[in-house]
Amino acid sequence: MAENVIDISNLKKYFAEVKALDGINFSVKKGIIFGMLGPNGAGKTTTIETMTGLYQRDEGEISILGLDPERSLKTLQKKMGVQLQSPSLFPRLKVVEILNLFASFYQNPLKISNVLSQIGLQNKKDSWVKKLSGGQKHRLAVGLAMISNGELIFLDEPTTGLDPQARQDLWNVIKNLKAEGKTVFLTTHYMDEAQKLCDDLVILDKGKIIAHGSPEKLINDYFKDRVIELEDMGLNNSFKERIKKEVFYNRLSFEEKKGHVLLYSDQIDKTLKSLFQLADNYERELNDVVIRKATLEDVFLKITGREYRDEAV
C-alpha cells in the first residue's frame, strides 16, 4: 500500500469569526494527483497556506512528508515546490533569470532547459516576465514550483482565468509531474478539471469537507442514474410543475440550474417517452435535450442542495 505524504487531522484555522477551516481530516498517498475542490471562499487556499507554513493552525495536526511545517519548515521547503494563487513573478526579470533564481534556492533543482521544455516556454526564455500572456505566466508559476524537484508539488488554482487551450496545456504539465513520480496537491474550483486530473479528491465547502473519494467513486456513490438536461427557455412554471409530477411518479429527481432543467433517471427510455408525451400534450417544444452521465457538479448539487458557483459562498 502506498505511503501517505500528507496526513491532516482536525485542522482548524479561524480569522476572527470566520471559520476558514473547521476541523478537516484527509490523507494523500504518494505519487497521485490529489484535488481539493470547492467554490471560491471554501477554504482551499487557507489549507495550502497552512500546510506550507504561511499560516499557523489554530488546532489540529499536520504531517507533510513526515514533518510538521511549524517545527520543520526549513527542511520541508527543500522537499516541496509551491505555486501560490497570486505568485510574485518579478516582471523585469527574464524567464530564464527567474528560473535560475528559484533554482538557486534548492540543493538538487531540475535543469532549466528541462523545465522550459515541460512548461512550453523554450521560445520565451529571454522574454521579460511582464511581456508574457496570462497563460504563459501561469505556466511559469508552475515551472517555479517544479524546479524545486521536490517530492510534493502544491498548485493553488493554477488554471484560473485561462482560456481553454491554455488550461489544456497546463493539464498536460500537471499530468507529466505525476508521470515523473511527483505527488501533486491541486486546488481548483473547476469541476471538470478535478474530474479529469485527480486520482483522489475532497470537496470543501464553507471550511468543511463534504465528500472524499475518487471522481468515479463519488459519482457512482451518489448517482446510479443518468441525467436528462434540457433548456429552461419556454418552459413556464405550470409546465415545470407537470414535469415534477411526472418525475415524482417515476421516482426521479428534478433540479433547475443555469437556465436548464435536470432530470435524474435510471430508466432513461421510459423517462424520455413520458417527457416527450407530456410536451406533446401541452404543445411545448423541448430545446437542446441532452442525455449524459452525472458529473462532480451534479454531486455537489445533490450534497449541498444548491447550485455550484465559482464565487464565494
Output the pLDDT for position 88. 72
**In angstroms, rounded to a whole number, what is the distance separating the alpha carbons of residues 214 and 199?**
6
Confidence band for 59, pLDDT divided at 50, 70 and 90: very high
Sorted by sequence, the CB contacts under 8 Å of residue 300 that are 6+ apart come out as 191, 203, 205, 308
Output the pLDDT for position 311. 43
Domain boundaries, the chain: 4-219, 224-293
Strand 4-15 and strand 253-257: pairing?
unpaired
Mean pLDDT of the chain: 88
Cβ–Cβ under 8 Å, residues 152 and 185: yes
Output the pLDDT for position 164. 86
pLDDT surpassing 80 at residue 56: yes
What confidence tens digit (pLDDT) does each residue in 67-96 have? 999 999 999 999 999 998 776 788 899 999
Model confidence, pTM: 0.84
For 224-293, which CATH class? alpha beta
Sorted by sequence, the CB contacts under 8 Å of residue 239 that are 6+ apart come out as 282, 284
Superfamily of domain 4-219: P-loop containing nucleotide triphosphate hydrolases (3.40.50.300)
What confidence tens digit (pLDDT) does each residue in 219-252 have? 988 887 788 888 876 677 788 787 777 665 555 6
Q: What's the CA dihedral at 28, 22, 63, 160 to 10 degrees?
A: 50
Q: What is the mean pLDDT of residues 161-171?
A: 85
Sorted by sequence, the CB contacts under 8 Å of residue 273 that are 6+ apart come out as none
